[in-house]
């Protein structure tokens, strides 16, 4: 092909129907032993981080596969700060200074909404500024699996406790996580546990505990309606107290059903003895969780969920046999510890199979917070300005179908459970153009509010590429950095037109890049402006490709 | 009477220069029932402009060839100079001809469909591809960097607030379409790009023809195919483009194969014929940076540059043929441009280095046939530093297009040019739809802007007639006549009528001047 003839419409007409069958892999959980270079490292990072920095790409591709996964799994539960009072300038809070955290203060209904938004923006900030570990993606995984709604809470501090529980257990033990969330104040509000008494049992949490949080509705999950009723009785007697600091879950024996609870043959006819002591609530809960976690279906259920989250949504019979079943065995053998499970999956030949690369449609938080991390956008230091910006990122995520901490239902977001659409449900006639609008906005004008402009500095990332003065190398680096799939020669040539329009010689870009980076050069100012525009247009062209929506 | 003379005369006579519509775009009301009732729209006149970018810097001296300069040209560039016997002749023109490869354009010229402006450039020419392209796209001076484009600023005023609220029933189609990889500065508005940039040509080709690009036979390919289909379906203008393309078929058999410019223009013709209301299309062809081997050593009329010019000429010829067969030739005009011409003196690699001024070629039934300007004068002794000096500023052609082809007011044109005034050139015929500033050079009927506007009390209407029965009426937004400002025989000259509009319901009113079958309509905003 003549390089100058970039634009050709002479392309073979392709079938217009979506193919029903495509190649799938039969690889299993054996440890991946193939090449671990930039491509494989980027695949691993794209799936486990919200946004991958250039430095991540360099650091992780220099490691062995095993060391790279180990590093990603070496997480910390520490957070740099807590949600802050960002509203005090316009709405003074008598108990919390502007810029200080409100999470350790008394409940004040006057500030519930502000604090709730502070909570949500704060979590978005954690994602956008995440460490190079799997932690934030796992917190999101658990939130989607066992969610609450922040806007339905009576006390935003409970949302904070809930999120802290997710974080503290995200890489720990799954059973412990379920145990904690079963009597979590925010959960007692969200699924009516606080109204579940021996006189008027409320089955809400008991049902979701089995159906959505542990056992699922797979063909081998054969718990009965009576099991749900019995479980609800186990869970009677709990309530919340938001008058204390911190707020707590409370147990009132008088509201607890102290009779025995009989479960079905699916649970080996387990009988949970009714207790009448002060610890009856937790004692019976522990009995019940022991009973549930004795079922092999629990591990399979979680493994399928994790597989859909980290690998692909389509679980074929081969995947069920080669991945889910042995992975679930591994999970149970490790007493439901999460880290060994992830270690096994992420180091597998199946995970690094080329057929499993580039097939995940990015969730909105990955699209937005991930962009900000990948392009290393600067955040303001002033609290109000910071929350303006993080609030904008959060709200944009909501506009493209993911309102973090307020999922559409107790099932989480449809993208992670609704067959057959799954991840495709992130993409609507409204959300797809908005996805492009976000990246366009961040590349060109930025988001301006309160005197601060939130924008991607295209030079910041470009300067970290291997040889940005060379147009072809720059494009290759940018494509490999931003897209999970390779482009064909026509597409590359089209991108090249942004830097070298009309096929002019490569030194034109090299010269401009050099001048743009040399403050002493007589043409520095104009070269800087001109190079900036070219980079903006190049990155826009890449991000507007459909491939950009994939991970 | 020449337009500029008329303008001078009008100014000398002390006539009131038109005031603006105070930032209100007449075209925003272009789709109101009344405007259809009146059968004529001001401003947006439905005309289409196709900009053809010749990327790389086209060698103007070998494109529009100054036959009367051959003695000095031979001294300066003998290794690339076209044999004078092969230069294509133009009817009625002596001393200037076209490159031998441009037979298509020669035919169009001889049929009265081509206007050539000689030596177009700008003061203090810049020899960087990038800088010079930015200058041409933005319409800035050489020493400035503007972040918006000349077309973008025009379209910004045309589509206020874009893209919020667009597309809508009044403006269902993209303001501009740019086919090709580079998203152009020319269509960049003050905050967003006004063009639907086809950065993914294969996807666009699929959209137009109802196909999708092949994807790999993998899970990723499966998702990619889904995303591409969604991208086309949810492209805010995807449906209107698809519908327009579906309504028209290519009629010309002259489109060459292996010609990317022809491929692009072929789609443009279909979209226009299919009813797309897009006003500006940008297409491009690269390869004009002919530093070396510009011509064949054995025959200078052949070679790389000849191939490029033939593609341009063949593509335009086929496009014009297609437009004519489709019956839409009167609403489409084209304009070629390049970031610079090339050096007078050729180099040792049988090529030419970056230069300055070069010809621009306009085509279509709406252009005035002819060549504007004299041939470039080649000095007796040419050094490597010598360039073709400009005769005309490129922005003069822009304002000619905006004013004479799109029918904008001088005020609007000035705004699009970043607040600067440039004189028009007679590139385009006087707009068929009338131009408010000097609407009627032939018939001498002109309607000035009302003053003030918006108005809440007394309004001053003013018109010029060459004498006869003249009517000037005011209509309310529903089309009911509310006031008669003039009706009956008027002598030649300017007439002024004052009317008290106090008490009228607020809204967009229309005032219409008519004499015989000539009619002009404008908007006045009543803000009581």
* Model ipTM value: 0.90
Structure tokens belonging to residue A324: 């889910």
Contacts of B199 in chain A (CB under 8 A): 494, 540-541, 544-545
Q: Which residue has the tokens 């002109």?
A: B446
Sign of CA dihedral B334, B335, B338, B342: positive
CB atoms within 10 A of CB B342: 33
CA distance readout (Å), B66 to B69, B114, B116 = 6, 17, 13
Contacts of A511 in chain B (CB under 8 A): 128
Q: In terms of DSSP bridges, do strands B280-285 and B358-363 run parallel, antiparallel, or are they unpaired? A: unpaired
> Same domain, yes or no, for B301 and B447?
no
- Pick from A163, A151, A148: which is nearest to A113 by CA? A151
Residue where a domain terminates, one of B384, B416, B448: B416
Residue of B nearest to A502 (CA): B286
**How would residue B197 be classed by pLDDT, with cut points 50, 70 and 90?**
low
pLDDT score of B267 more than 60: yes
For A8, the closest of B53, B128, B260 (CB atoms) is: B260
Residue of A nearest to B197 (CA): A541
A371 or B500, which is more confident?
Answer: A371
Say if pTM beats, i.e. exceeds, 0.95.
Answer: no
Instruction: Give the bridge partners for B378, in sequence order.
Output: none
Structure tokens belonging to residue B148: 């918006």
Task: Classify residue B393: in a domain, yes or no.
Answer: yes
CA distance readout (Å), A319 to A28, A322, A341, A356 = 8, 5, 16, 12
Counted across chains A and B, CB pairs separated by less than 8 A come out at 201
Q: Which residue has the tokens 């403006």?
A: B171
CB contact, 8 Å: A20 with chain B? Answer: no
Beta strands in A399-488 (DSSP E): 447-449, 452-454
> Same domain, yes or no, for B147 and B81?
yes
For B236, the closest of A312, A433, A503 (CB atoms) is: A433
> Same domain, yes or no, for B298 and B398?
yes
Torsion of CA B259, B263, B264, B269, to 10 degrees: 130
Residue of A nearest to B304 (CA): A4
CB contact, 8 Å: A97 with chain B? Answer: no
Torsion of CA A376, A382, A383, A385, to 10 degrees: -70
pLDDT, position A390: 97
Domain that holds residue B32: 3-41+436-526
Count Cα atoms within 13 angstroms, Cβ side, for B5: 4
For A497, the closest of B182, B257, B291 (CB atoms) is: B182
A203's CB contacts (< 8 A; 6+ apart) are A196, A228, A229, A231, A232
Residue where a domain terminates, one of B416, B448, B479: B416
Instruction: Give the bridge partners for B370, in sequence order.
Output: B115
CA angle, B428 as apex, B426 and B433 as ends, to 5°? 120
> Same domain, yes or no, for B31 and B65?
no
Q: Which of A2, A9, A496, A538 to mutate to test the interface with B (most CBs of B within 10 A)?
A: A9
CB contact, 8 Å: A23 with chain B? Answer: yes
A118 or B5, which is more confident?
Answer: A118
> Same domain, yes or no, for B93 and B155?
yes
The CA distance from A393 to A372, in Å, is 9
Q: In terms of DSSP bridges, do strands B195-198 and B176-179 run parallel, antiparallel, or are they unpaired? A: parallel
For B202, the closest of A357, A433, A490 (CB atoms) is: A490
> Same domain, yes or no, for B398 and B483?
no
**Bond prior to A420 in cis (omega within 30° of 0):** yes
pLDDT, position A269: 98
Whether residue A533 and residue B185 make contact (CB cut-off 8 A), yes or no, is yes
Residues A398/A390, Cβ–Cβ less than 8 Å? no
CB atoms within 10 A of CB B162: 20
| A507 to chain B, closest Cα gap in Å | 11
Structure tokens belonging to residue B518: 């000539």
DSSP string, B193-237: B-EEEE--HHHHHHHHHT-B----SSHHHHHHHHHHHHHHHHSTT
Whether residue B222 and residue A11 make contact (CB cut-off 8 A), yes or no, is no
Count Cα atoms within 13 angstroms, Cβ side, for B373: 26
The CA distance from A151 to B322, in Å, is 61
The CA distance from B438 to A385, in Å, is 53
Q: Any alpha helices (H) in A20-74, and if so which ranges?
A: 38-48, 54-61, 65-73
Q: Which of A493-502, A534-543, B7-16, B99-108 has the lowest mean pLDDT?
A: B7-16
Domain count, chain B: 2
* Per-residue three-class SS string for B461-498: EEEEECCEEEEEEEECCCCCEEEEEEEEEECCEEEEEE
Residue of B nearest to A311 (CA): B219
Encode B400-412: b = buried (16+ Cβ within 10 Å), e = exposed.
bbbbbbbbbbbbb
The CA distance from B360 to B371, in Å, is 10
Residue B452: exposed, middle, or buried by beta-carbon count in 10 A (0-12, 13-18, 19+)? middle
| B302 to chain A, closest Cα gap in Å | 18
Whether residue A16 and residue B210 make contact (CB cut-off 8 A), yes or no, is yes
State the DSSP code for A23.
-
Task: Classify residue B243: in a domain, yes or no.
Answer: no
Contacts of A16 in chain B (CB under 8 A): 210-212
pLDDT, position B201: 55
pLDDT, position B177: 86
> Same domain, yes or no, for B483 and B411?
no
> Same domain, yes or no, for B324 and B443?
no
Structure tokens belonging to residue B327: 């019956």
Backbone torsion region of residue A135, taken as left when φ is above 0, otherwise alpha when ψ lies between -120 and 50, otherwise beta: alpha
Q: Which residue has the tokens 């009629």?
A: B251
CB contact, 8 Å: A314 with chain B? Answer: yes
For B211, the closest of A16, A534, A547 (CB atoms) is: A16
Task: Classify residue B359: in a domain, yes or no.
Answer: yes
Residues B269/B206, Cβ–Cβ less than 8 Å? no
Residue B121: helix, strand or coil by DSSP?
strand
> Same domain, yes or no, for B35 and B179?
no
| A498 to chain B, closest Cα gap in Å | 5
CB atoms within 10 A of CB B253: 9
Domain harbouring B88, CATH code: 3.40.720.10
Residue of A nearest to B191 (CA): A445
Task: Classify residue B218: in a domain, yes or no.
Answer: no
pLDDT score of B462 more than 70: yes
> Same domain, yes or no, for B118 and B159?
yes
The CA distance from A36 to A59, in Å, is 12
> Same domain, yes or no, for B319 and B452?
no
pLDDT score of A167 more than 90: yes
The CA distance from B159 to B258, in Å, is 37
The CA distance from B167 to B157, in Å, is 15
A139-148, B29-38, B247-256: which has the highest mean pLDDT?
A139-148
Task: Classify residue B215: in a domain, yes or no.
Answer: no
Residues B442/B429, Cβ–Cβ less than 8 Å? no
Task: Classify residue B429: in a domain, yes or no.
Answer: no
Domain harbouring B475, CATH code: 2.60.40.1930
pLDDT score of A11 more than 50: no
Structure tokens belonging to residue B389: 């000096």
DSSP string, B255-267: PPSS-HHHHHHHH
pLDDT score of A173 more than 60: yes
Residue of B nearest to A426 (CA): B227
Give the total residue count for chain A.
551
Task: Classify residue B223: in a domain, yes or no.
Answer: no
In percent, the amount of chain A with pLDDT more than 70 equals: 96
The CA distance from A245 to A161, in Å, is 12
Residue where a domain terminates, one of B388, B416, B444: B416
Query: What is the helix (H) or strand (E) element at residue B164, kind and residue range?
Result: none
> Same domain, yes or no, for B379 and B499?
no
Rg (CA), chain A: 26
Residues A431/B236, Cβ–Cβ less than 8 Å? no
Task: Classify residue B226: in a domain, yes or no.
Answer: no
Q: In terms of DSSP bridges, do strands A238-241 and A248-251 run parallel, antiparallel, or are they unpaired? A: antiparallel
Q: Which of A36-40, A114-118, B42-46 has the lowest mean pLDDT?
A: B42-46
- pLDDT for B422-445, tens place per residue? 988 889 986 443 333 333 344 578
Whether residue A4 and residue B203 make contact (CB cut-off 8 A), yes or no, is no
pLDDT score of A21 more than 60: no
Contacts of A524 in chain B (CB under 8 A): none
Q: Which of A265-279, A313-327, B82-96, B154-168 has the lowest mean pLDDT?
A: B154-168
The CA distance from B358 to A541, in Å, is 31
């Amino acid at each position: 092909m003549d390089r100058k003839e970039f634009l050709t419409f002479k392309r073979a007409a392709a079938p217009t129907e979506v193919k029903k069958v495509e190649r799938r892999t039969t690889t299993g959980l054996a440890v991946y032993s193939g090449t671990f270079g930039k491509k494989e490292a980027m695949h691993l990072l794209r799936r486990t981080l919200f946004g991958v920095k250039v430095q991540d790409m360099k650091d992780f591709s220099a490691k062995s596969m095993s060391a790279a996964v180990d590093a990603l799994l070496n997480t910390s539960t520490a957070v740099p700060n807590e949600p802050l009072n960002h509203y005090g300038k316009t709405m003074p809070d008598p108990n919390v200074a502007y810029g200080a955290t409100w999470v350790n203060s008394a409940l004040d209904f006057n500030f519930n909404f502000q604090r709730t938004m502070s909570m949500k923006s704060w979590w978005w900030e954690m994602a956008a500024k995440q460490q190079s570990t799997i932690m934030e993606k796992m917190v999101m995984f658990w939130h989607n699996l066992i969610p609450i709604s922040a806007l339905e809470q009576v006390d935003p501090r409970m949302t904070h406790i809930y999120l802290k529980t997710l974080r503290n257990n995200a890489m720990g033990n799954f059973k412990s996580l379920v145990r904690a969330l079963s009597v979590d104040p925010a959960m007692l509000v969200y699924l009516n546990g606080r109204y579940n008494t021996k006189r008027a049992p409320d089955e809400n949490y008991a049902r979701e505990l089995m159906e959505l949080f542990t056992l699922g509705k797979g063909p081998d999950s054969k718990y009965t309606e009576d099991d749900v009723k019995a479980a609800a009785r186990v869970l009677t007697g709990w309530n919340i107290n938001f008058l204390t600091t911190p707020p707590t879950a409370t147990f009132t024996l008088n509201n607890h059903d102290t009779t025995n609870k009989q479960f079905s043959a699916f649970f080996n006819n387990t009988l949970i003895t009714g207790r009448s002591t002060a610890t009856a609530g937790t004692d019976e809960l522990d009995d019940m969780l022991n009973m549930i976690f004795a079922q092999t279906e629990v591990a399979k259920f979680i493994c399928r969920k994790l597989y859909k989250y980290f690998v692909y949504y389509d679980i074929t019979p081969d995947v069920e046999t080669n991945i889910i079943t042995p992975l679930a065995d591994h999970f149970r053998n490790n007493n439901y510890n999460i880290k060994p499970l992830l270690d096994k999956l992420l180091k597998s030949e199946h995970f690094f199979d080329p057929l499993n690369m580039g097939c995940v449609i990015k969730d909105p938080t990955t699209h937005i917070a991930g962009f900000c991390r990948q392009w290393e956008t600067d955040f303001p230091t002033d609290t109000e300005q910071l929350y303006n910006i993080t609030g904008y990122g959060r709200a944009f995520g909501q506009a493209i179908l993911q309102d973090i901490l307020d999922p559409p239902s107790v099932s989480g977001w449809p993208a992670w459970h609704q067959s057959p659409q799954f991840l495709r449900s992130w993409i609507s006639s409204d959300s797809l153009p908005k996805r492009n609008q976000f990246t366009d906005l961040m590349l060109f004008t930025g988001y301006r509010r309160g005197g601060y402009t939130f924008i991607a500095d295209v030079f910041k990332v470009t300067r970290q590429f291997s040889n940005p003065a060379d147009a072809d190398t720059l494009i290759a680096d940018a494509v490999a950095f931003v897209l999970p799939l390779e482009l064909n020669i026509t597409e590359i040539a089209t991108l090249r037109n942004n830097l070298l329009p009309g096929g002019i010689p490569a030194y034109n870009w090299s010269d401009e890049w050099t001048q743009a980076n040399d403050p002493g050069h007589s043409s520095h100012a104009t070269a800087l402006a001109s190079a900036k525009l070219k980079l903006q247009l190049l990155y826009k062209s890449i991000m507007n490709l459909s491939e950009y929506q994939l991970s | 009477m020449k337009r500029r003379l008329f303008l001078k005369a009008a100014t000398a006579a002390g006539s009131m220069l038109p005031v603006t519509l105070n930032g209100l775009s007449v075209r925003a009301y272009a789709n109101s029932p009344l405007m259809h009732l009146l059968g004529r729209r001001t401003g947006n006149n439905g005309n289409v402009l196709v900009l053809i970018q010749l990327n790389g810097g086209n060698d103007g001296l070998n494109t529009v060839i100054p036959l009367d300069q051959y003695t000095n040209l031979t001294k300066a560039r003998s290794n690339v100079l076209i044999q004078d016997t092969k230069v294509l002749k133009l009817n009625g023109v002596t001393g200037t001809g076209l490159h031998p490869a441009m037979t298509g354009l020669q035919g169009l010229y001889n049929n009265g469909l081509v206007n050539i402006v000689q030596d177009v450039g700008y003061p203090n020419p810049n020899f960087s591809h990038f800088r010079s392209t930015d200058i041409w796209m933005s319409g800035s001076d050489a020493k400035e960097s503007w972040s918006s484009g000349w077309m973008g600023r025009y379209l910004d005023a045309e589509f206020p607030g874009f893209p919020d609220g667009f597309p809508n029933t009044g403006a269902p189609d993209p303001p501009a379409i740019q086919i090709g990889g580079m998203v152009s500065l020319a269509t960049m508005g003050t905050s967003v790009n006004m063009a639907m940039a086809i950065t993914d040509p294969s996807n666009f080709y699929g959209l137009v023809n109802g196909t999708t690009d092949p994807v790999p036979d993998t899970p990723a390919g499966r998702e990619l195919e889904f995303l591409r289909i969604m991208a086309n379906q949810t492209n805010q203008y995807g449906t209107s483009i698809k519908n327009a393309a579906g309504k028209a078929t290519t009629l010309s058999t002259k489109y060459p194969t292996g010609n990317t410019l022809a491929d692009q223009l072929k789609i443009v013709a279909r979209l226009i014929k299919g009813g797309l209301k897009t006003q500006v299309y940008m297409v491009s062809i690269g390869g004009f940076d002919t530093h070396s081997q510009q011509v064949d050593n054995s025959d200078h009329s052949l070679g790389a540059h000849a191939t490029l010019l033939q593609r341009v000429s063949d593509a335009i010829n086929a496009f014009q043929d297609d437009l004519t067969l489709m019956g839409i030739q009167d609403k489409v005009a084209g304009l070629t441009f390049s970031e610079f011409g090339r050096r007078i003196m050729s180099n040792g690699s049988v090529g030419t280095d970056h230069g300055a001024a070069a010809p621009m070629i306009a085509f279509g039934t709406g252009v005035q046939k002819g060549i504007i300007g004299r041939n470039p004068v080649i000095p007796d002794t040419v050094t490597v530093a010598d360039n073709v000096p400009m005769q005309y500023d490129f922005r003069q052609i822009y304002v000619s297009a905006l004013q004479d082809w799109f029918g904008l007011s001088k005020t609007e044109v000035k705004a699009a040019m970043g607040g600067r005034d440039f004189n028009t050139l007679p590139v385009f015929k006087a707009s068929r739809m009338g131009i408010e500033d000097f609407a009627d050079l032939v018939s001498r009927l002109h309607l000035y802007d009302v003053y003030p506007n918006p108005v809440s009390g007394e309004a001053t209407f003013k018109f010029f007639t060459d004498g006869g029965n003249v009517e000037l009426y005011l209509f309310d937004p529903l089309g009911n006549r509310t006031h008669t400002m003039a009706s009956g025989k008027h002598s030649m000259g300017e007439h002024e009528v004052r009317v008290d509009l106090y008490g009228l319901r607020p809204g967009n009113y229309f005032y219409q001047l008519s004499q015989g079958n000539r009619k002009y309509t404008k908007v006045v905003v009543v803000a009581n």
